[in-house]
Amino acid sequence: MASLSLSNSLTSLHSQILNQTSYTPSFNQLSFPKSPVFSTHLNTRFISNCASSPIDTNSSDDTPIELKYPAFPTVVDINKIREILPHRFPFLLVDRVIEYNPGVSAVGIKNVTINDNFFPGHFPDRPIMPGVLMVEAMAQVGGVVMLQPEVGGSRDNFVFAGVDKVRFRKPVVAGDTLVMRMTLTKLQKRFGIAKMDGKAYVGGEVVCEGEFILAMGNTD
């Protein structure tokens, strides 16, 4: 009799243990650790390729992406550029000047589009802006500096006298905006010779750089 009672007690205890350990909470009751790596991975895995700037996962800004990025300022528009530079289609490669420091530097942009006339041949299967045209575009930005009264005086044209230490860092493709900064480093005004440092950027990264020697003159 005692052994039967003991057996019943052990069976009851075993059932209670099984009931406690086999409890399975519902999904809503599960509590996950708040890991920064885990939460960041979930929040950015899809959107990491949708914007060029880092995403703040704690930001509550719901502004559409098309309203977040302001346009480049216009210091010298295309009409004024055409008055300064002698170049015309298809070799006018500066669309806008966004910064100008008289006698010192200028920053211009070239909007690279698939409609540019060099893309059908360079290259049909992978449109890449030719490096020589990047250099030409940078020189034209330099021309905006040189052909101003404080530098070039009455001279109305310029030509290449030399290009040194040119490096191409990354390809420039259709859809890019080429941002070019040209800085005057030396001027021999008597002879109309200027030396300039140039850098071109896409998305804040250097894609081309070099040293330019430009000679000023008149079209007469």
- How many H-runs (helices) and E-runs (strands) does the chain carry? 5, 6
So what's the pLDDT on residue 7?
52
Is 93 within 8 Å of 138 (Cβ atoms)?
Answer: no
pLDDT tens over the chain, length 220 residues: 544 454 555 455 555 544 554 444 444 444 444 444 333 333 433 333 334 454 454 556 789 998 888 899 999 999 999 999 999 999 999 999 999 998 899 999 999 999 999 999 999 899 999 999 999 999 999 999 988 877 765 567 888 889 999 999 999 999 999 999 999 999 988 888 999 999 999 999 999 999 999 998 766 5
pTM of the full structure: 0.71
Q: Please, which residues bridge with residue 187 across strands?
A: 194
Cα radius of gyration (the chain): 33
| φ and ψ of 40, to 5 deg | -65, -40
> Three-state DSSP class for 61?
coil
Give the residue numbers marked as catalytic: 122
